[in-house]
Amino acid sequence: MPTTDNALSPLHPLLYEKTVRRALLEDLGRAGDLTTDAIVPAGSAAAAVIVARKGGRIAGTGVAAAAFQCLDPHVEVDANVPDGADAAAGEIVAGIRGSARAILSAERVALNFLARLSGIATSTRDIVGALAPFGTRVVCTRKTTPGLRILEKYAVRAGGGFNHRFGLDDAVLIKDNHRVIAGGIEEAVRRVRLHAGHMVKIEVEVDTLEELKEALALKVDAVLLDNMPPETLEQGVRMARGKALTEASGGITPENAPAIAAAGVDLISIGWITHSSPALDVSLDLL
Amino acid sequence: MPTTDNALSPLHPLLYEKTVRRALLEDLGRAGDLTTDAIVPAGSAAAAVIVARKGGRIAGTGVAAAAFQCLDPHVEVDANVPDGADAAAGEIVAGIRGSARAILSAERVALNFLARLSGIATSTRDIVGALAPFGTRVVCTRKTTPGLRILEKYAVRAGGGFNHRFGLDDAVLIKDNHRVIAGGIEEAVRRVRLHAGHMVKIEVEVDTLEELKEALALKVDAVLLDNMPPETLEQGVRMARGKALTEASGGITPENAPAIAAAGVDLISIGWITHSSPALDVSLDLL
Amino acid sequence: MPTTDNALSPLHPLLYEKTVRRALLEDLGRAGDLTTDAIVPAGSAAAAVIVARKGGRIAGTGVAAAAFQCLDPHVEVDANVPDGADAAAGEIVAGIRGSARAILSAERVALNFLARLSGIATSTRDIVGALAPFGTRVVCTRKTTPGLRILEKYAVRAGGGFNHRFGLDDAVLIKDNHRVIAGGIEEAVRRVRLHAGHMVKIEVEVDTLEELKEALALKVDAVLLDNMPPETLEQGVRMARGKALTEASGGITPENAPAIAAAGVDLISIGWITHSSPALDVSLDLL
Amino acid sequence: MPTTDNALSPLHPLLYEKTVRRALLEDLGRAGDLTTDAIVPAGSAAAAVIVARKGGRIAGTGVAAAAFQCLDPHVEVDANVPDGADAAAGEIVAGIRGSARAILSAERVALNFLARLSGIATSTRDIVGALAPFGTRVVCTRKTTPGLRILEKYAVRAGGGFNHRFGLDDAVLIKDNHRVIAGGIEEAVRRVRLHAGHMVKIEVEVDTLEELKEALALKVDAVLLDNMPPETLEQGVRMARGKALTEASGGITPENAPAIAAAGVDLISIGWITHSSPALDVSLDLL
Amino acid sequence: MPTTDNALSPLHPLLYEKTVRRALLEDLGRAGDLTTDAIVPAGSAAAAVIVARKGGRIAGTGVAAAAFQCLDPHVEVDANVPDGADAAAGEIVAGIRGSARAILSAERVALNFLARLSGIATSTRDIVGALAPFGTRVVCTRKTTPGLRILEKYAVRAGGGFNHRFGLDDAVLIKDNHRVIAGGIEEAVRRVRLHAGHMVKIEVEVDTLEELKEALALKVDAVLLDNMPPETLEQGVRMARGKALTEASGGITPENAPAIAAAGVDLISIGWITHSSPALDVSLDLL
Amino acid sequence: MPTTDNALSPLHPLLYEKTVRRALLEDLGRAGDLTTDAIVPAGSAAAAVIVARKGGRIAGTGVAAAAFQCLDPHVEVDANVPDGADAAAGEIVAGIRGSARAILSAERVALNFLARLSGIATSTRDIVGALAPFGTRVVCTRKTTPGLRILEKYAVRAGGGFNHRFGLDDAVLIKDNHRVIAGGIEEAVRRVRLHAGHMVKIEVEVDTLEELKEALALKVDAVLLDNMPPETLEQGVRMARGKALTEASGGITPENAPAIAAAGVDLISIGWITHSSPALDVSLDLL
């Protein structure tokens, strides 16, 4: 299982164009950009650059471009630092040319997308780098911003991470509550196998090595070792070797991730990168 | 001008119900919650609590409740800590009772809203507290998450802050680029006054005291003092007293905010609280 | 405060394109234009003109063009009389060239928009002209056609008028009912100031000079003098001078507007121009 | 063919509930009703009446009720004057009881619908009354407000009129332009009959008695006699008797309608009732 | 009344583009085409053909083209067999050139539309052919796939059939249940005539010759002879000649249709062609 | 791997309620049910039963109920034959009680859903039964009706079948075209593993035993044996035993399925059940 995604494929705009459009309308409201409409003549052109004020991993230039082009399809956006690459502090991320009104009116929305996605990509990159010596994959969770999951999961890939489930419907993850309601892991897995198709993977969350043993006996695809201390993790990893993928999860931060990776798990999933990464500082300068 | 909003009014659900519905569909995908649907019998009931794992200011219980009730209108959610109040670490924020399937399938979406909004409210509360001695209002910006502006601006109010413009259409803010294109502040303000209605306020961003003087002469409602060092800010505040509201902005963080407030500005606007606040750690425990 | 808007800025199509699309689908229904589809060959081209059968102020050529172009993006529409200018009776407003099917199928929708918006612009123009000697601004209200507010407010500007609030969320207007519920103007204003941001203007509706006095003492931005006879209005205007903008409202028609303007108010708001203006007679002639 | 519709059937809410919801969101914007939210406590109740300030035919109480109930489903609306009945000047049209916030925040939208639809119903009623001696049906056209066709056609029925086509897809109307493109009425009708189903009626617009003769020979269902002077109309009516329904159209106003009806046509279609009827003056009074 | 529609007019894309877009998003889900995005380089081009594996009547090439072009507007689709024409087994229906990603990712959606619509067109064509000797029109019903009515009715026309009502709102069909509730055919027709406009046709379903007599006396436009044996049908046809169109309906299949047509009815309506036609086998081959 | 799904879990209405609503609006059009609205008094109640005219496996009673309840939430629908059970010819499937208007106006849409889904469930049931002796799973494909995938996949489960991928985003299926573009199976799988998350299964389509060997060496989760004759299939099954799931696909019909199952494959996927199953004959009878 590779631990770094070196094949960042662009998202098809169909997957986010409504999100961009909605964001623009959220900012333009009913009446549009009062300031720009009053001051900037309708036909005037401008050129601008988007600059990274701090260094980081870039994600979202396509989305930002879509914001400008939603206001005027003739706006040209040339990425200088493509998604998945690093920008140094002060470096130009993209050049923009076209309608001055479109550039000024879409500026904030474009930057809001780019700043958030690049913030996630940057945090991911840093953790991926820190875990590289251990060969551990960094994966995201479903703790994403409501409405932006597809974009934030893309940002994780831009940072060198991988994606866990996209939602409740593309894989099975049997958690504590499911196990309790079913009356045991075995019965939970049995029910799932009667319901789910053959292309659906099954992962089971376990809190103890006892539970781990039970899950492994059922030949599930992966086990989520929840909130285990490093030594227990190590034991779990040994037990699972060759039988199921091991994923550590629960309260993982950039600080404690290396210690956990050292236990030898295949994957570390970390909600922090999508729900608490600070935005990357990017700005637009008119030339 | 009051500096703390002690009158948090609930948002009308019409303003966010589509956002909640979209978030649920984003998580349920086409096929729904494979795990829960396979394991949890259709009619079974459950009770749960939402707990704040760390202390913070709560915002978003109504939105979280809407998530559960969108899956089953009979789910009851009782807020123990209302929006705008503080939860201690480990305190129960709300109790939930109803369909076990609805509770488990909406859990993640409900928590994603609550964690983000409470994170913003908590950061805001902390800064509002730190600036209380100076009588400075804390206001948010348009650097919000695309699609969540109305909710994030509400979270800022729950934290004791106030809202700046909701978008490009409800007030005028003449920025650098507008001034340059117009050929000066005076001409920019003149064009705006020909265009905007009498209920629209006008604020002008200024970089220097020269520009400030020019803006004040035009009797605008507010001036945004951009990235000025504290001494310059103090001078600006003296010049503007009784003539226009003064707002400091630009690169403000929780750390440097008090020093800026000490300069005597009426308002400090801070993008950080919406684009970089970490989420509050909240979880759902089935009883 | 200028009394004529000589800076009509075009609306961004993003603000109305869904409205146009919905209107076309409302007319095309499920099966499309039965008559045209049966009779007009798919590839045939045509040229047409839109003619003003009566003289008036034009508004909505961009919206009309969007209707044709929504059916065929290659249709060309050249405005002969731009929005905000006057067409004489019989004058060509715009020339159209392109797909015969698109022109015939979108004709009614395009004209429905143009006729209504030009009707509003024409009425506004007439009243603005009648009030010119008094230096009074003509403003519209929220008594607009459901779904068309942004377009109708634009038409008012095309007629030389100005816009009042765009909705309930971009400014505060404390009416009778609010005052009664709050227990007085002072308390109502106090509550609003705890809630609203610093970029939100506050206007208070008053029925008597007593109430006016109370409102002015609270330093609100504007006062709405509701249904006052001219002499009382004159007194009110004198009291408010230099303290707040004065707006007369209530049952104003094109007929009684000049008498009210003579009292010296800054603004006259008139629901009639949006809810009862007759449409301008415009038609499309195939060449 | 009856000339008065005494069987006004209520519209199913599914046909207009999105229109109502959109209208409310258009007024509430992003931030909601700033004034009411700040002043009116969240749980307070109120009672109100909608009053007709001038006499007229009522249409739209169900739509108005839907507006209040969209904000709070517990608001009760009791119609005192049902749709299709007349209200005297000063008469109470409906009583309303429920959440004070919902009543105040939906007031304007509810009245905007009711005023427009009742205005159309009132104009229709007056013309229907004036034409009663002639046994002529009054029918509306497709010159309706974009987005409100279904409601405006309902208002016409509430006024005692009948509906022409609802759109381009539910009947065939061969106009001048179609005839010219086809190269004659006969060819136009032939093409339509190859295309349209057996449940689709065909009407042909004619400008001269020659054309009328040609159309009648083709056994179409109805003929539209466009802009003919009364004497020609009379001749046309005689020619068509027993062969096709006769409809007079083109520039008809409340003033000239009786003279045209006197020519004996079966139907008079009149765009004026939907595009230029003044709104009925209705208001909401809190009790 | 012609019995074959030799004038197939293309549907305007506005009538189906949302349906196509929704179908693509249904297939792409949140994350897009995992396989293609991972394997096919973003800029690579491809050429392909759509082939009919079995012979049939083609319908839906425009819809299929819209699917590819929704993913990439530069994809070119050249129809080799136009809608309404027959493809032999193995014949190329259309050629496609453009983005390899767009072609592979839209392939299934494009084929799903084309296969279903061509399946309907093929079945219709076969029945139309079988009934040709009798001069009977083949018409479809409202038993269409939810969401695809407009497309399936178009496919029927492509097969040489005609369309019955498009929905409940464009013509009146008085069925058994309506008659019973009204208390008789006469009262049912009376109520309808008070309600419906003059462009709405009225058809009455009858089960016996008694009922047929009653319906004909009311001069309705058409009568639906429901589930009658051939001899009764023949009698009914004789009774209705020159008075109303006759339509046979109820349990008609490709097998029993000719026997029914032999009774001389004007139309045979057959739900089978839309709800049970097998899909035409079409596939896409990359060149 | 179980071969029959005995745990049919109901779909959450959130997953189909928009589809139902759209289908109703498709049938009601702009003006609603002209016939019912004219004839049936607004308040009248009725009772009805849905009857299976032919025997079959039922699927879709919940969707049908949603159709009635979308028009009137008080309509009660009691399933007599639940989804996933068999109805005999003539058996009552469900009883309905409530508003006569709602029942009559939603009848066709409710039946259209029920007939199609039950048709698919019935076909699936028959094939599942025929393959029971071989222990082969029956799975559906992506050849579903555009817009109805989630419902049709549910119908397959109701018939005892299982679901393959729900779309392009929840599993990887490397087809011929992907292999050719990648330059081989190995490279295709390598690219996919760099891109996809650890919860995504990978299946490879193979045409020959050579390719099968190559795929198995890569340890993919499943192999699709495309259009292989029975003897080759048997060999392939032997080669893959214990290494990957085997799926037979390509031109499979109810007739040839048993012969293919006899070859010992784990799964047979069959597009026919969703694209060509005839509808089940169901009708609604008013009591």
CATH number where E103 lies: 3.90.1170.20
If asked whether residues E88 and E156 sit together in one domain, one would say no
pTM above 0.95, yes or no: yes
Q: How far is B62 from A286, CA to CA, in rounded Å?
A: 42
**Which residue type sits at F56?**
G
If asked whether residues C66 and C31 sit together in one domain, one would say yes
- Give yes or no: E205 in active site: yes
If asked whether residues A40 and A177 sit together in one domain, one would say no
| Alpha-carbon distances of D28 from B14, C199, E244, rounded to whole Å | 9, 18, 54
Q: How far is A249 from E177, CA to CA, in rounded Å?
A: 62
Structural domain span for residue E162: 130-275
Does residue B196 form part of some domain?
Answer: yes
Across residues C90-96, what is the average pLDDT? 98
Does residue C48 form part of some domain?
Answer: yes
Chain C residue with Cα closest to A34: C9
What is the per-residue pLDDT for B6?
64
| CA max distance for chain C | 71
Q: Tell me: pLDDT of A113 over 90.
A: yes
If asked whether residues D57 and D145 sit together in one domain, one would say no
Within 8 A of A221 by CB-CB distance, chain F residues are 199
Q: Tell me: pLDDT of D6 over 70.
A: no
Sign of the alpha-carbon torsion through F9, F10, F12, F17: positive
- Give yes or no: D226 in active site: yes
B87's tokens: 């939860």
Q: How far is A252 from A232, CA to CA, in rounded Å?
A: 16
The candidate with the shortest Cα–Cα distance to B111, out of B52, B30, B34, is B52
The answer to whether the CB atoms of F14 and B30 lie below 8 A apart is: no
Average pLDDT, chain D: 96
Cβ count within 10 A of residue B219: 10
Does residue D80 form part of some domain?
Answer: yes
What is the per-residue pLDDT for E210?
97
**Between F21, F32, F105, which is nearest D11 by CB?**
F32
What is the per-residue pLDDT for A220?
98
pLDDT per residue over A188-239, tens digit each?
A: 999 999 999 999 999 999 999 999 999 999 999 999 999 999 999 999 999 9
Q: How far is A266 from A261, CA to CA, in rounded Å?
A: 8
Q: Tell me: pLDDT of E5 over 70.
A: no
**Which residue type sits at C29?**
G
If asked whether residues D216 and D165 sit together in one domain, one would say yes
What is the per-residue pLDDT for B5?
67
Chain D residue with Cα closest to C271: D279
Does residue C2 form part of some domain?
Answer: no
The candidate with the shortest Cα–Cα distance to C172, out of D45, D113, D31, is D31
- Give yes or no: D169 in active site: no
What is the per-residue pLDDT for E121?
98
If asked whether residues F94 and F196 sit together in one domain, one would say no
pLDDT per residue over B160-191, tens digit each?
A: 999 999 999 999 999 999 999 999 999 999 99
If asked whether residues D140 and D23 sit together in one domain, one would say no
Domain count, chain B: 2
Sign of the alpha-carbon torsion through E212, E213, E218, E219: positive
Within 8 A of F29 by CB-CB distance, chain D residues are 166, 170
pLDDT per residue over F25-72, tens digit each?
A: 999 999 999 999 999 999 999 999 999 999 999 999 999 999 999 999
Does residue E178 form part of some domain?
Answer: yes
Grade residue A3 by pLDDT with cuts at 50, 70 and 90: confident
If asked whether residues E186 and E103 sit together in one domain, one would say no
C251 against E142, higher pLDDT: E142
Q: What is the DSSP string of F134-189?
A: GTPEEE--S---TT-HHHHHHHHHHTT-B---SSTTSSEEE-HHHHHHHTSHHHHH
pLDDT per residue over F136-185, tens digit each?
A: 999 999 999 999 999 999 999 999 999 999 999 999 999 999 999 999 99
Across residues F109-115, what is the average pLDDT? 98
The answer to whether the CB atoms of B30 and F166 lie below 8 A apart is: yes
If asked whether residues B139 and B217 sit together in one domain, one would say yes
Q: Which chains lie within 8 Å of chain A at 3 or more CB pairs, if any?
A: B, C, D, E, F
Q: How far is C155 from C5, CA to CA, in rounded Å?
A: 12
**Which residue type sits at D180?**
V
- Give yes or no: A243 in active site: no
pLDDT per residue over D35-45, tens digit each?
A: 999 999 999 99
What is the per-residue pLDDT for F6?
64
Q: How far is D39 from F175, CA to CA, in rounded Å?
A: 64
Residue pair B193/C2 in contact by the 8 Å Cβ criterion: yes
Burial A128-142 (b: 16+ CB within 10 A, else e): bebbeebebbbbbbb
The H-assigned helical ranges of chain B are: 17-28, 34-39, 61-71, 100-131, 149-158, 176-182, 185-195, 209-217, 230-240, 257-261, 272-275
Chain E residue with Cα closest to C34: E9
**Which residue type sits at B190?**
R
Q: Which residues contact F140 (CB under 8 A, 6 or more apart)?
A: F124, F152, F153, F156, F161, F162, F163, F164, F269, F270, F271, F273, F274
**Which residue type sits at F80?**
N
Within 8 A of D23 by CB-CB distance, chain B residues are none
Residue pair D61/D16 in contact by the 8 Å Cβ criterion: no
User: What torsion, rounded to 10 degrees, do the Cα atoms D162, D168, D169, D174 define?
Assistant: 90
Within 8 A of B142 by CB-CB distance, chain A residues are 27, 108, 112
Segment among A52-56, B215-219, B262-266, D1-5 with least mean pLDDT? D1-5
Across residues F2-21, what is the average pLDDT? 89
Q: What is the DSSP string of B110-166?
A: HHHHHHHHHHHHHHHHHHHHHHGGGTPEEE--S---TT-HHHHHHHHHHTT-B---S
Does residue E2 form part of some domain?
Answer: no
Within 8 A of E26 by CB-CB distance, chain B residues are 30
CATH number of the CATH domain containing E163? 3.20.20.70
Q: If DSSP states are collapsed to H, E and C, what string results for chain A?
A: CCCCCCCCCCCCHHHCHHHHHHHHHHHHCCCCCHHHHHHCCCCCEEEEEEEECCCEECCCHHHHHHHHHHHCCCCEEEECCCCCCEECCCCEEEEEEEEHHHHHHHHHHHHHHHHHHHHHHHHHHHHHHHHHHHCCEEECCCCCCCCCHHHHHHHHHHCCCECCCCCCCCCEEECHHHHHHHCCHHHHHHHHHHHCCCCECEEEEECCHHHHHHHHHCCCCEEEEECCCHHHHHHHHHHHCCCCEEEEECCCCCCCHHHHHCCCCCEEECCHHHHCCCCCCEEEEEC
The candidate with the shortest Cα–Cα distance to A240, out of A207, A257, A260, A215, is A215
Grade residue F98 by pLDDT with cuts at 50, 70 and 90: very high
The answer to whether the CB atoms of C149 and A71 lie below 8 A apart is: no
Q: Tell me: pLDDT of B2 over 90.
A: no
Does residue E30 form part of some domain?
Answer: yes
C57 to chain D, closest Cα gap in Å: 16
Strands, DSSP E only, in C90-234?
Answer: 92-99, 137-139, 172-174, 202-206, 222-226
**Between C28, C31, C37, which is nearest E14 by CB?**
C28
If asked whether residues C35 and C108 sit together in one domain, one would say yes
Across residues D61-72, what is the average pLDDT? 98
The candidate with the shortest Cα–Cα distance to B111, out of A172, A145, A277, is A145
What is the per-residue pLDDT for D3?
81
The answer to whether the CB atoms of A34 and B169 lie below 8 A apart is: yes
**Which residue type sits at E177?**
N
Does residue D4 form part of some domain?
Answer: no
Which is catalytic among the residues E53, E54, E142, E143? E143
Residue pair B142/A2 in contact by the 8 Å Cβ criterion: no
pLDDT per residue over D198-247, tens digit each?
A: 999 999 999 999 999 999 999 999 999 999 999 999 999 999 999 999 99
Q: What angle do CA F96, F102, F105 make, to 5 degrees?
A: 110
Beta bridge partners of A247: A224, A267
Q: Which chains lie within 8 Å of chain C at 3 or more CB pairs, if any?
A: A, B, D, E, F
Chain D residue with Cα closest to E138: D197
The answer to whether the CB atoms of E105 and A153 lie below 8 A apart is: no
If asked whether residues D30 and D79 sit together in one domain, one would say yes
Give the number of C-alpha atoms closer than 13 A to the C-alpha of residue A278, restricted to the C-beta side: 13
Q: How far is C245 from B199, CA to CA, in rounded Å?
A: 10
Q: How far is E45 from F95, CA to CA, in rounded Å?
A: 56
H helix or E strand, kind and range, residue E168? none
Average pLDDT, chain E: 96
| Alpha-carbon distances of F35 from B234, D155, F125, F130, F259, rounded to whole Å | 76, 19, 39, 46, 52
Q: How far is F273 from F140, CA to CA, in rounded Å?
A: 7
The candidate with the shortest Cα–Cα distance to F228, out of F247, F201, F255, is F247
| Alpha-carbon distances of D160 from A287, D127, F35, rounded to whole Å | 64, 9, 19
* Cβ burial, residue A88 (10 Å; 0-12/13-18/19+): exposed
| Alpha-carbon distances of E254 from A69, A205, E138, E204, F82, rounded to whole Å | 53, 57, 11, 24, 32
Strands, DSSP E only, in chain E?
Answer: 45-52, 56-57, 76-79, 86-87, 92-99, 137-139, 172-174, 202-206, 222-226, 245-249, 267-269, 282-286
The answer to whether the CB atoms of E30 and A166 lie below 8 A apart is: yes
The answer to whether the CB atoms of C5 and B169 lie below 8 A apart is: no
Residue pair D97/D45 in contact by the 8 Å Cβ criterion: yes
What is the per-residue pLDDT for C6?
64
pLDDT per residue over B30-74, tens digit each?
A: 999 999 999 999 999 999 999 999 999 999 999 999 999 999 999
Within 8 A of B2 by CB-CB distance, chain C residues are 193-194
Q: Tell me: pLDDT of B105 over 80.
A: yes
Q: What is the DSSP string of B99-121?
A: EHHHHHHHHHHHHHHHHHHHHHH
If asked whether residues A160 and A257 sit together in one domain, one would say yes
